[in-house]
Structure 1
Amino acid sequence: MLSTTRRASLAVLLVAALIAALTTPSFADKRDDLEKHKKDVSGKIGDAKKDLEQSTKQYANAVAALNRAQARLNAAQAKLSNTRGALATAKARDAQMQAKLISTQAELDAAKARLTQSKAELRESEAKVEQFAVQNIEQGDPGMRAFSGLLQGEDPTAFTEQMSLNDAVSDDQTATMQDLAATRVLLEVKRDKVTRLRNQVKVQREAAAANLVRKQQLEAAAADQAAEVVKLVTARRGARWTAAKLRAEDKKQLASLENERAQTEAKIRALTPKQVKDAGGDGGGTLSYPVSGFPITSPYGMRFHPVLHVWKLHDGTDFGAPCGTPVHAAAGGTVLQTYYNGGYGNRIILNNGRMRGKGIVTTYNHLTRWTVSPGQHVKRGETIGYSGTTGYSTGCHLHFMVLVNGSTVNPMGWL
């Protein structure tokens, strides 16, 4: 595709070379033919340039739309990936929580069963103790009954046996009382465990329910985001197709225009006289810097086109002059044109006449404004405009071009 600077320089090249040819006396007899040819070519190139500029703008817009669609798609895919990751985590956590809940519930059920059994054992021990108490009340102290029997003449052997029996009963009662106390303590421990497990189950159920809600929300979000990704993929595919179509059209126009340019330049070079008429220049052998004290930000030569993604010629030298910096004529000459171009922005084309035996034309581009008019004669160093960033420009600078016999050359070879 033809870059904006190349497209505009093509028109300048043709006009400048044709004018140089027309000013040569040895070709005066061809003036009418050249005038007609110039008008035809200029009109054709002008129309093609407008179409190409519009197409390039459409392509740039399509590329920008594609980039935006890709960015949205990347963001949507990243979001979907994060959501699916969170969903996988929620599902894994749900499985873990359910397993833990089942285990805790089983432990709670077992604790409840043990608590029920302990309650039964407690009731049994309490019944025994109660029975001992009733017997003691009804029958009195066993030792005292045995002693009373001894006093009443019973056999001392019977007294001894009765006392031994009383001791055994007393020991059994003591053990029963101790078991009752222990059972009560264990019962409280088991009750505490049941309460703790019951609370734990409650917390786990609430957490599981909350996780289930989150899982359901993530599933719904993942479904929506997946649908959005599909939609964005379709949009990106459409944007890519549009960009590819426009790029193909631009390349086709580029090939056509470059072919026509080559043929036209060949004709102009054949018609250009060896001694070009001075066109009001100052006759010097070199050009002066159009701006001074500023660095070169982009030299003349091939560079990678940021839109077309092809290597193309950068047809001038860029000076990093801030917007509003005075721009001076690199040599005396006559102003051919001052106009706005979509690529070059506000530009001045200056015919500097003959230098080193060759026809020289200089152009000053991306200006904020110009201060000269077509046909006006200017002197070397005279202010003709002010630097800017109009047209296809990424910042304030001066794009300075030199055309020798109608072809662009590296300006640094003439400064």
Structure 2
Amino acid sequence: MLAILATCALVVGLMNPVLADKKDDLQRQRQGVNGKIDGAQKSLDSSSAAYAKAAKALDAAQAKLSSARATLGKTRGQLAVSQAEDARMQAELDRSQAALDKAVADLKKGERRLKASEDEVKAFTVQTVQEGDRGMKAFGELLGGESPSTFTDRMSLNASVGDAQVSRMQKLAAAKVILRLNRDKVEKLRDQVAVARQAAAANLQKMTELEAAAEAQTAEVGKLVDARADASGKARAAKVEDERLLAAYEAERNRLNNELAELARRELERQRARERAGRGGSGNNGGLSGGDDNGALSYPVNGPITSPYGMRVHPVTGVYKLHDGTDFGVGCGTPIHAAASGTIIQQYYNAGYGNRVILANGIKRGQSIVTTYNHLSGFARSAGARVSRGEVIGYVGSTGYSTGCHLHFMVIANGVTVNPMGWL
């Protein structure tokens, strides 16, 4: 599109009045459409920037969401463990409490038995004291004339009473031992129950905190999902609408560009005819563009080609379209040299191409050649300046639709973009 301006400028002095009027009319239409396109492009840039920002926010939200979900999963896992532990602790506490209750009952029963044994021993002791030594009493009665058989019977009874007394004393001693053991068991079980209750209480507190955390995390996950969907939806809707408007404006611009290209063809043909008549068919239109006679172009920078001319998926927009130039991977600030002598017909900022220089290089190999240098960080010359081949005209940057520092170099032959490598 911009190359056509250079072509028209080359022959501005050679047009007839009708042709000039037609061109002026087309140029006015073109300016009107370009104004619409610039507005639409700015809207698209804003939308694309908003979409890129939303995508970045979406990635961040997704990362937060993934992290929140992982945390929630971990919390729920801990909660499940805590709930299972709570059930186990409760069962253990119930068993310990039951054992304690039984031990306490056994202790009370043992205390009653001990008291009964003690009472029996006390009663027997009192009786023994009151009755005296039964053996001595039986012996006295024998001396007093009691029959020997009676004496024998009384001594046997005395032995039986002694054995019973021994048995009572042994039961009493055993009851005391069992009572002591039961008391120890009760104390131990009471300690176990206290510890179990403390652990269960701590686990219950932890389980309550985990439940609250899980509830809060679930709510946060929901918010992140809603925020992500809202941002993505709005940005996508704006981008689709802007692209629709831009497509309509570009269709109109292409129609006008086709007419201008045809007009340029006629002008170029007329110019060549005059050159053959006046200068013997010189291959360069000389003065106006300031071009040189070398039919090839020089490399504007010294660097590797990172993206060639041709169809590709745009790295920023993701659209499959023509990559209308050759990308050279060089650092920001690298000087850019004019590929051939010529006149800077325009230099400005474009949302897609960033800072760009448009250089008319004259007629080469029978074609009107215009070179453009895009995504610049800054300009070295001004619009309208005539520059020589190799002269610095700007500096590499990453302005406009760009993913990094590089030079996007374009060649426009007779109004049509071509592969720069065919001219370098």
Give the TM-score category using the shorter length: 0.7 to 0.9
The secondary structure found in structure 2 opposite 1:202 is helix
Counterpart for residue 22 of structure 2: 33
Matches within 5 A, 1:84-99: 84-99=76-91
In the alignment, is the contact (CA less than 8 A) between 2:68 and 2:220 conserved in 1?
Answer: yes
TM-aligned CA deviation for residue 20 of structure 1 = 1.0
Report the alpha carbon displacement of residue 353 of structure 1 after superposing the two structures with TM: 1.9
Give CA-to-partner distance per residue, 1:147-174, whole Å, 9 cap, x none. Answer: 4555555444444444443443333333
Query: What amino acid is the match of 2:26?
Result: H
Q: Give the aligned partner of residue 341 of structure 1.
A: 350
Cα-to-partner distance string for 1:333-377 (whole Å, 9 max, x where unaligned): 211222223333322211122223222222222222221111212
SS in 2 for 1:395: coil
1:407 maps to amino acid: V
Opposite residue 115 of structure 1, the aligned amino acid is L
1:403 to 396, 412, 417: 412
**Matched residue, 2:365:** 356
Q: Which residue of 1 aligns with 2:3?
A: 16
* Structure 1 residue identity aligned to 2:163: D
Match of 1:254 in 2: 246
How many angstroms does 1:325 deviate by? 1.6
User: AA paired with 1:296?
Assistant: I
Classify the secondary structure of the residue corresponding to 1:61.
Answer: helix
Change (3 A) 1:270 1:115: same
In structure 2, relative to structure 1, the CA distance for the partners of 1:58 and 1:135 (3 Å cut) is same
Query: 2: distance between equivalents of 1:261 and 1:299?
Result: 26
Aligned residues: 401
Mapping 1:84-123, distance limit 5 Å: 84-123=76-115
Aligned-partner Cα distance in 2 for 1:168–1:412: 132
Q: How many Å separate the matches in 2 of 1:141 and 1:288?
A: 143
Equivalent position to 2:294, from 254, 259, 284: 284
Deviation at 1:387, TM superposition (A): 1.7
Map 1:3-402 to 2 at 5 A. Answer: 14-24=1-11, 28-29=15-16, 30-65=19-54, 67-68=56-57, 70-71=61-62, 72-271=64-263, 272=265, 273=268, 277=285, 279-292=289-302, 294-306=303-315, 308-402=317-411
Once residues 27 and 169 of structure 1 are traced to their aligned partners in structure 2, the CA distance between those partners, rounded to angstroms, is 157
How far apart, CA to CA, are the structure 1 residues paired with 2:10 and 2:20?
A: 9
Letter in 1 for 2:87: A
* Unaligned segments of structure 1, at least 5 residues: 1-13
Q: Secondary structure at the match of 1:391?
A: coil
The residue matched to 2:15 in structure 1 has which SS?
helix
TM-score by length of 2: 0.82
- Checking the alignment, whether the CA contact within 8 Å between 1:316 and 1:410 is kept in structure 2 is yes
Deviation at 1:146, TM superposition (A): 4.4
Write the distance in 1 (CA, Å) between the matches of 2:86 and 2:361: 83
Secondary structure of 2:394's partner?
Answer: strand
Per-residue deviation, 1:190: 2.1
Q: Are the counterparts in 2 of residues 22 and 31 from structure 1 also a CA contact under 8 Å?
A: no
How far apart are 1:249 and its partner, in Å?
Answer: 0.8
Give the whole-Å Cα distance in 1 for the aligned partners of 2:145 and 2:309.
145
8 A Cα contact 2:33 2:249, kept in partner: no
Question: Relative to 1, partners in 2 of residues 1:143 and 1:405: Cα closer, same or farther, differing over 3 Å?
Answer: farther
CA distance in 1, matches of 2:413, 2:109: 112
Q: What is the distance in 2 between the residues matched to 1:206 and 1:373?
A: 84
CA distance in 2, matches of 1:325, 1:66: 31
Q: Which runs of 5+ in 2 are unaligned?
A: 273-283
SS in 1 for 2:374: strand
Deviations 1:357-406 (A, max 9, x none): 22222222222222111121212222222222333333322222222222
Whole-Å separation in 1 of the counterparts to 2:336 and 2:74: 56
- Distance in 2 (CA, whole Å) between partners of 1:304 and 1:168 is 117
1:142 to partner: Cα distance: 4.4
Over the aligned positions, Cα root-mean-square deviation in angstroms equals: 3.0
State TM-score, norm by structure 1: 0.84
